[in-house]
Amino acid sequence: MIYPSLDHLLKKVDSKYTLVVLTARRAREVVAGDRVLVTSRSNKAVTIALEEIGADKVTFERVKPIGG
């Protein structure tokens, strides 16, 4: 079983696309040396990023474009 589950993760964001972008962005930060925000048994950046999103340690904010 995948942890955290996709259903759980999708409750944290507004779309699958947002989940993918947020995960990729955070995974790149982890690879670059940023501090890991959760205790994880994995050493893979994508898994760590997903666990951080699932634990509400990484979030996003939708910003409206100016003039739109």
- Model pLDDT for residues 4-54, shown as the tens digit of each residue: 999 999 999 999 999 999 999 999 999 999 999 999 999 999 999 999 999
- State how far the Cα of 36 lies from the Cα of 39, in Å rounded to an integer: 8
pLDDT band at 68 (very low <50, low <70, confident <90, very high): low
pLDDT score of 18: 95
Q: Which residue has the higher pLDDT, 62 or 55?
A: 55
DSSP assignment of 1-68 equals: --SS-HHHHHTTSS-HHHHHHHHHHHHHHHHTTPPP-S--S---HHHHHHHHHHTTSS-----PPTT-
